Amino acid sequence: MPVKYLNKAAEAFAFAAAPVHLKPLSAGHINHTFLADCGAGNPQYILQRINTEIFSHPHELMSNIKGISRHIAHKAAQSGGDPGRMARTVIETKSGEDYYIDPDGKYWRAFLEIDDVVSFDFPDSPELFHKSAVAFGRFFKQLADYPVETLYETIPDFHNTVRRLEEFKQVLAQDKMGRASEMEPEIAFVLSVQADCSYITDRIADGRIPLHVTHNDAKLSNILMDKNTGEGVCIIDLDTVMPGSILYDFGEAVRFGASCAKEDETDLDRVQIDLAMFKTYVRGYLEEVWDGITEEELRGFPMGAYLMTLETGIRFLTDYLNGDTYYQVHYPGQNRDRARNQLKLAADMKEKINQMAEIVQQIYDTVKIGQGPCESKGVI
């Protein structure tokens, strides 16, 4: 379906030249995204219509994104990197605003497109996945001294798994689409593991787990990687950067990238945690963050992976029961398939949680002995 006012929005931004082509990009379940091609010799831009049903305060959203992007650009410059590639550049409208409001009241924004990068929906190799872990580890470190209290909570309780469970129960009680009978095994699974949901929230509440600046949607597909070297260049999709736990980011990355199958795979026999890939991610991530985390956080890594997967499964299931009002679906039943996939993965992680814990501890000890990256120190 054509997106209304796309051309008008494209005209509103201070691009180097008028776009000659606006290409829809399929990435993401939430916003509508386009690549604005401004012709040979000119930069390209990302033009996005913000989903204000979900992000109801776009000015706060843009304030967060500008703040952290400037911070990352500064850190990149300090370490001799190219800030224009390593941080998101927000493009203002011709009248100097961070966003354009179309005649229907919809909000649009634009970013400079970064050249010679690719992103992946699935890690083709352990090397790639390792690089993605390093990229997210760096992101965490770069923002470690960012004033967390200045960030707006763009979606309150975003990773509050207990709240997500409550919402699920409310929607289930209504069963307004009559879909609950079709999802009985999945519903039974969620109800059987509900006591697990408070693992992170309890620890945040009593101070055992600290809040940091976290990405909160730290999946592989949200990293732009250099086409030639494969190194992580820039972390994107900064809408949910908020105060959060490192377990959210570690968990999201594992949920998405350490599964044997993609998030929408319908052959559930293929959906399970790949412990070798899990180990790869743990290694890359700990090589960066090992000296900036507490013992309690380290111990929580396997639960973080399991809970982010369970939470995502609960969210897809809730949306399916509720008539697909949150996530964009490309075919009827996609949220049902996504829910089955994620809940199967969560069940598999729960079974393997002790093995995951052993891997985390072993890698931590190894990284600590080597005081950083394992390979360069000859440790692994």
Binding site residues, ligand GN1, CB under 6 A:
28-30, 54, 217, 237, 240, 263, 312
- Bridge partners for 337 per DSSP: none
348: partner contacted, choices Mg ion, ligand GN1, none (Cβ within 5-8 A by kind): none
274 binds Mg ion (CB under 5 A): no
Q: Least Å distance between CB 22 and ligand GN1?
A: 20
Tell me the C-alpha distance between 1 and 280, whole Å. 41
Cβ closer to Mg ion: 237 or 249?
Answer: 237
Q: Least Å distance between CB 198 and ligand GN1?
A: 19
Cβ closer to ligand GN1: 113 or 263?
Answer: 263
Tell me the C-alpha distance between 284 and 375, whole Å. 10
Tell me the C-alpha distance between 308 and 95, whole Å. 41
> Greatest CA span in the chain, whole angstroms?
60
Q: Least Å distance between CB 217 and ligand GN1?
A: 5
Query: Which among 145, 1, 147, 161 has a CA at the least distance from the CA of 78?
Result: 145
237 binds Mg ion (CB under 5 A): yes
Tell me the C-alpha distance between 339 and 310, whole Å. 9
- Bridge partners for 22 per DSSP: 36
Stretches 68-76, 135-143, 233-241, 258-266: which one binds Mg ion (CB under 5 A)?
Answer: 233-241
Q: Least Å distance between CB 177 and Mg ion?
A: 25
324: partner contacted, choices ligand GN1, Mg ion, none (Cβ within 5-8 A by kind): none
Cβ closer to ligand GN1: 119 or 198?
Answer: 119
> Taking the alpha carbons of 227, 233, 238, 242 in that order, is the dihedral positive or negative?
positive
Cβ closer to Mg ion: 272 or 342?
Answer: 342
The answer to whether the CB of 138 falls within 8 A of the CB of 288 is: yes
Query: Which among 192, 211, 191 has a CA at the least distance from the CA of 203?
Result: 211
Q: Which two tokens stand for residue 336?
A: 């049902």
Cβ closer to Mg ion: 235 or 321?
Answer: 235
The answer to whether the CB of 337 falls within 8 A of the CB of 282 is: no
Q: Least Å distance between CB 215 and ligand GN1?
A: 10
- Bridge partners for 273 per DSSP: 259
* Ramachandran angles phi, psi of 245, nearest 5°: -95, 145
Cβ closer to ligand GN1: 161 or 240?
Answer: 240
The answer to whether the CB of 225 falls within 8 A of the CB of 235 is: no
Which residue's CB atom is positioned nearest to ligand GN1? 29
Cβ closer to Mg ion: 108 or 256?
Answer: 256
The answer to whether the CB of 335 falls within 8 A of the CB of 319 is: yes
Q: Least Å distance between CB 239 and ligand GN1?
A: 6
Query: Which among 209, 218, 220, 365 has a CA at the least distance from the CA of 290?
Result: 365
Q: Least Å distance between CB 76 and ligand GN1?
A: 23
Q: Which residue has the tokens 């600290």?
A: 210
Residue type, 127: E
263: partner contacted, choices Mg ion, ligand GN1, none (Cβ within 5-8 A by kind): ligand GN1
How big is the site for Mg ion, counted in residues (CB under 5 A)? 2
The answer to whether the CB of 58 falls within 8 A of the CB of 50 is: yes
Cβ closer to Mg ion: 16 or 54?
Answer: 54
Residue type, 45: Y
Q: Least Å distance between CB 241 and ligand GN1?
A: 11
Binding mask 187-226 for Mg ion (x = CB under 5 A): ------------------------------x---------
Q: Which residues bind Mg ion (CB under 5 A)?
A: 217, 237
